[in-house]
Amino acid sequence: MQPETKPSHTEVEHVKAKSNYLRGTLLESLENGITGALFPDDTHLIKFHGSYQQTDRDLESERARQKLEPLYSFMIRVRVPGGVASPKQWLRMDELADQYGNGTLKLTTRQAFQLHGVYKRNLKAAVQGFNQVLLDSIAGCGDVNRNVMCSANPDESRVHAALYEVAKSISAAFTPQTTAYAEIWAPPGLAEETDAPKGSREEGNWSKVFLTTPGQEDAEPIYGKTYLPRKFKIALAAPPENDTDVFANDIGLIGIEENGDLTGFNVAAGGGLGMTFGMPETFPRLADLLGFVRTEDVLKVCEAVITTQRDFGNRENRKFSRLKYTIERMGLDAFRKEVETRSGVAFEPLRPFQFKHSGDHFGWTQGQSGRFHLTLFIEGGRVRNTENYQLKTALREIAALLSEGEFRLTGNQNLLIGNILPNERLEVESILKKYGVLEKTFQQTALRLNSIACVALPTCTLAFAEAERYLPRLIDQIDAILRKYHMQKEAINIRMTGCPNGCGRPYLGEIGLVGKSPGYYNLYLGAAHDGSRLNKLYREMADEAGILRELEPLIAAYAMKRNPGERFGDFVIRMGYITATTHGTNFHN
């Protein structure tokens, strides 16, 4: 049963309902040369096509003084299911960033690419540019299932490889079916032009969104005309690594191994991190474990969770429309039963599993195929050239060199260059050395290697404070404290965001910093290093001096009093500095 759009429904619900499957007046908006912005309704719809209208917030007051409209530009989020891109795709994204964007590429916390600073007049050309290498941006944003995340290294074991196949099939199953994306953006004849060899990785990424039949009528068998009440996220992980932070997702799928093969998944549902300051009825929440399902049933179960959320999710107030609140309202048992009824799959008892770590492991590894993989630290996920550090050029040279390798975006904004042939390894290494990229990974404190910062200023319209541009400098200061107590090798997760929405998953940081106003952050402590426990507010509105003042005695105590192998997040709880958050509903207590 599809919910109808009632008068009490939010504006976005009405915009979706009358959009004719996400078309709205986007074509007219794009062609209108009088303003750099879209018509208001289309600003909602373009999200489903993977783009956000933004302004350059650094220039806000100057533009207002000159009585100019804000400098509108667009962020484009390019989906990369499981984070796997080919060297050819990397090269194209690199090129598009220079040609139409602000010269940088952002690797996101969900294994996608973002271009920033694309003017309206260039949007179509930019989208067509990546469409031509079989990348797309449909469902990059919007009230649909977003980029599906998967543990970053499929070549590590048979389980990882199988996991990636499941991630791709989930991504394909829940991609919107509308032909609006192809109609608005795709270069004519693209489907016929593609030179991707059958069965190749590039063809695998091909989402079929362009393969439309003339006269085809639109239908969304899963989503319906009003799509989902809110964004929806799915991630897969293979224990002991929780590098995709599965519990932060609407659906988290924990791969279970039997005799070296993937046998199925422990399914978790109802994760989500966004909250609003001053509204304790909004809260970050980790997904609850529902039970075990076999691999062949996982798509049916995901579809049942999605349609349950479609039909029971709140469409009257977007602050309460994520699945986490639907589950809180329905009760976990009733929700589980609904999913079982809809899918026809009964959950089996949970299988044992143990996560150990939620970050990435850096450096070289050799996979089961004998090929090499290298995980590099990309601070804040930002790929750019600066005077002292030519990261973008280095990665471009590697992409041009690799005959078969791949660029895997990790869920922690880092990059794994994978499947490097043994005879190419030395050349890759010499390029990285030439540009100082290896030092950037190997000479960092473990704290920095475990850091995440969301975009925040200047592009994010919701930011109250800096994050990506500031965290590296704050870490310089914290590093000095760590060195003083010989703790520089201690892996502590630190995550900063410019507002409470949670894009850098700050409530899963052993040290979490959430922007409240320029220069001031709420400090959260006590998350589990493996992503299985949220943190809790320790100090409100701390500036840099305040943050350092709070952290130094804790780091000193950790150096002296920790038990062998004890993680910082567990230590601050054991020592009574903070009480543990055991469920989203007691996050604010």
Min dist. Cβ of residue 290 to ligand SRM (A): 18
From 16, 23, 77, 310, the catalytic residue: 77
DSSP codes, 248-259 = GSSEEEEEEEET
Instruction: Specify the stretch interacting with ligand SF4 by CB under 6 A; choose among 102-110, 425-433, 455-463, 483-491.
Output: 455-463
Considering the candidates 23, 47, 92, 146, report the single residue annotated as catalytic.
146
Kindly tell me the number of DSSP H helices and DSSP E strands found in the chain.
Answer: 20, 20
Pull the structure tokens for residue 113.
């690419």
Q: Is 47 annotated in the active site?
A: no
CA distance 463 to 511: 19
Six token digits for residue 412: 């922690």
Q: What is the token pair recorded at 323? A: 């699945």
Cis ω before 87 (30° cut-off from 0): no
Q: How many residues bind ligand SRM (CB under 6 A)?
A: 32
| Partner that binds at residue 109, options ligand SRM, ligand SF4, none, CB closer than 5 to 8 Å by kind | ligand SRM
Q: How far is the CB of 237 from ligand SF4 (least distance, A)?
A: 22
SS (H, E, C) 372-410: EEEEECCHHHEECECCCCEHHHHHHHHHHHCCCCEEEEC
Type and span of the H or E element at 290: strand 288-294
Nearest to 322 by CA among 271, 368, 379: 271
Q: Is 21 helix (H, G, I), strand (E, B) or coil?
A: coil
Q: Is 567 a catalytic site residue? A: no
For residues 60 and 174, give the distance between their C-alpha atoms in angstroms, rounded to a whole number: 38
For ligand SF4, the binding residue among 76, 339, 460, 482 (CB under 6 A) is: 460
Instruction: Return the amino acid letter for 524.
Output: Y
Query: Measured between alpha carbons, how far is 251 from 572 in angstroms, rounded to an integer?
Result: 29
Q: How far apart are CA 466 and CA 269, in angstroms?
A: 31
The pattern of x and - marking residues 305 through 344 that bind ligand SRM according to CB under 6 A reads -----------------x----------------------
382 binds, among ligand SRM, ligand SF4, none (CB under 5 to 8 A by kind): none
The pattern of x and - marking residues 395 through 424 that bind ligand SRM according to CB under 6 A reads ------------------x-----------
Cα separation of 577 and 36, whole Å? Answer: 50
- 168/371 with CB nearer ligand SRM: 168
CB of 506 to ligand SF4, least distance (A): 8
| Burial degree of 220 (CB within 10 A; 0-12, 13-18, 19+) | middle
Q: Is 124 a catalytic residue?
A: no
Please report how close the Cβ of residue 160 comes to ligand SRM at its closest, in angstroms: 19
Q: Does 512 bind ligand SRM (CB under 6 A)?
A: no
Q: One of 150, 396, 460, 505 is an active-site residue; which one?
A: 460
The sign of the torsion formed by the CA atoms of 303, 305, 307, 309 equals: negative
Note if 77 is an active site residue.
yes
> Which residue's CB atom is positioned nearest to ligand SRM?
274
With residue 347 as reference, give the H or E element that holds it: none
Establish if 109 lies at the interface with ligand SRM (CB under 6 A): yes
Which CB sits closer to ligand SF4, 398 or 499?
499
Taking residues 500 to 539 in sequence order and writing x for each that binds ligand SF4 by CB under 6 A, - otherwise, the string is -xxx------------------------------------
Contacts with ligand SRM, residue ranges (CB under 6 A)? 52, 54, 75, 77, 108-110, 112, 114, 146-147, 231, 233, 245, 248, 272-274, 322, 381, 413, 454-455, 459-462, 501-505
Which of the residues are catalytic? 77, 146, 231, 233, 454, 460, 499, 503
